[in-house]
Amino acid sequence: LSRLGPEGVAIYRPSAVYGWTRRGRRGLVMTLLANGLGCRVTTIVGSLDTARDYLWVRDLANWMLAGLHDPRRQAEPSILAAGRPMAMGEVLH
């Protein structure tokens, strides 16, 4: 996720954000949870070595809102990340 703030403009590029949704495409984490709760099998496609830095949607929302109220942060590029990429195989384990 990157954020730039020249002249009051913020650009957000969220990636690997997870959280509950009733509509739309679910990612790996929420699909595993939903299928587990429903006693359904999850079909995995892709390399188990594929790593992502998963970020909880509420953490992202709080970070974005804090940026709106902090003029110092609005003027500087910043990055929000969980800080620990996880491979898909590790998430499944």
pLDDT in tens, 33-73: 999 999 999 998 889 999 988 888 898 888 888 877 776 66
Residue with tokens 């730039």: 4
pTM above 0.85, yes or no: no
**What pLDDT, on the 0 to 100 scale, is given for residue 3?**
46
Q: Cα separations (Å) of 78 from 40, 50, 69, 70?
A: 40, 25, 15, 13
Q: Are 91 and 29 in contact (CB under 8 A)?
A: yes
Which pLDDT band, with edges at 50, 70 and 90, does 19 fall under?
Answer: confident
